[in-house]
Amino acid sequence: MSDLHAISLDWQDFRPCLVVYDKDTGEVSDFDFWAVDFNVSHESRCVGSWHGGEYVPCPDSLIVKGGSVCDSCASAFIADLDCVFEPRCNGEECGMQFCAQEHAIYLAFHGHVAKVGLTASRRLKQRMIEQGADAYSVIAKVKGRKAARTMEIAIADELSLRQRVREIESLAAMTEPSSDEEIEADFAGLAERLENFGHSPSELRFLENYPIRLPLKRMPGMVKPGGRHRGKAIGVKGKFLIYENGGLNALNLQYLAGRFISDGRERAARPLECWQ
């Protein structure tokens, strides 16, 4: 059996799936990482691109650093890469629907850590699940990505809110989760301040169906993606697979994109059901 090339981590509602490509068979499938017994390469190569629902591997299988896709594959489905990293327009310059569509500016809670962020409105709930948020509220919906980004920065400044949650904070929120009441109380304080700035945040929505039972028994240690992973799966929240092997380990599944997975055991290739 050849090594499987990990392409992406996607979610179907609360079910995570690690999309892999088998170059021998040309098949794209959903890798069963729940049986934690596999090797991950240290090297990372371009994950290729998608054309009208068909997967196209990178023609040059390029080694990529600081990302998982090479410029040439990225440009096959993204007209203007610069606009993706830092939005410059509302679709009028780059011509991308990506920039023109309606965006939501949200407040997300990861335990007691609150952050502000933006995403395409149609992907909002999925984005919150990908990030492993405990609850969220929509502050505003705005047409265009640049307009949304401007508002996101303004709100972060007004309320001194963060735009990122650190890995260790996500793991701490699994080890000592906040109760719904605690998050409600944190939200009530922020909602009042948002209203003072003329915003009207939606009610708080909780996300509680992650495939993991919390709290964790102890704080997991981060493990490097490259190397051998073996143990008993505890669950997944956001990008983290938690597994037990002596202590608790946290593997960031997003870091597998681009790497090769070799697998000692026979696994049935599972069909992909996690497409958005």
Which tokens hold the place of 157?
């400044």
Please give the DSSP secondary-structure letter assigned to residue 134.
S
Give me the helix-helix angle, 145-159 and 180-196, nearest 10°: 100
Among 6, 17, 28, 58, binds Zn ion (CB under 5 A): 58
Closest to Zn ion by CB, 48 or 117: 48
Among 19, 20, 36, 70, binds Zn ion (CB under 5 A): 70
Q: Does 7 bind Zn ion (CB under 5 A)?
A: no
Is 223 a binding residue for Zn ion by CB under 5 A? The answer is: no
Instruction: Please state the closest distance from residue 147 (CB atom) to Zn ion, in A.
Output: 11
Asked if 115 and 238 touch (Cβ cutoff 8 Å), the reply is no
Q: 106 CB contacts (<8 Å, ≥6 apart)?
A: 116, 117, 118, 119, 124, 128, 136, 137, 138, 139
- Quickly tell me which residue has 């026979």 as its tokens: 266
Q: Of 36-55, which residues contact Zn ion (CB under 5 A)?
A: 46
Tell me how far apart the alpha carbons of residues 233 and 171 are, in angstroms, rounded to a whole number: 15
- Cβ-based nearer residue to Zn ion, 40 or 99: 99
Which C-beta is closer to Zn ion: that of 58 or that of 172?
Answer: 58
Is 94 a binding residue for Zn ion by CB under 5 A? The answer is yes
Query: Shortest distance, CB of residue 214 to Zn ion, whole angstroms?
Result: 38
224: CB partners within 8 A, 6+ apart: none
96's tokens: 């991308």
> From the CB of 77, what's the least distance to Zn ion, in Å?
11
Rounded Cα gap, residues 59 and 73, in angstroms: 9
Please state the closest distance from residue 5 (CB atom) to Zn ion, in A: 12
Minimum CB distance to Zn ion smaller for 78 or for 156: 78
Q: Which is nearer to Zn ion, 89 or 183 (CB)?
A: 89
Interaction of residue 118 with Zn ion, rule CB under 5 A: no
Q: How far apart are CA 242 and CA 8, in angstroms?
A: 18
- Whichever of 70 and 191 has its CB closer to Zn ion, that residue is 70
For residue 166, the tally of other CB atoms under 10 A from its CB is: 11
Selected binder of Zn ion within 9, 40, 73, 253 (CB under 5 A): 73
Per rule CB under 5 A, is residue 83 in the interface with Zn ion?
A: yes
> Which of the stretches 89-97, 128-136, 165-173, 244-252 binds Zn ion when contact is defined by CB under 5 A?
89-97
Q: What is the CA radius of gyration of the chain?
A: 20
* Greatest distance between any 2 Cα atoms in the chain: 61
Nearer to Zn ion, 74 or 269 (CB): 74
Instruction: Confirm or reject binding of residue 99 to Zn ion (CB under 5 A).
Output: yes
List strand residue ranges (DSSP E) for 111-199, in order.
113-120, 135-143
Instruction: Tell whether residue 89 is a contact of Zn ion (CB under 5 A).
Output: yes
Contact positions toward Zn ion, by CB under 5 A?
A: 46, 58, 70, 73, 83, 89, 94, 99
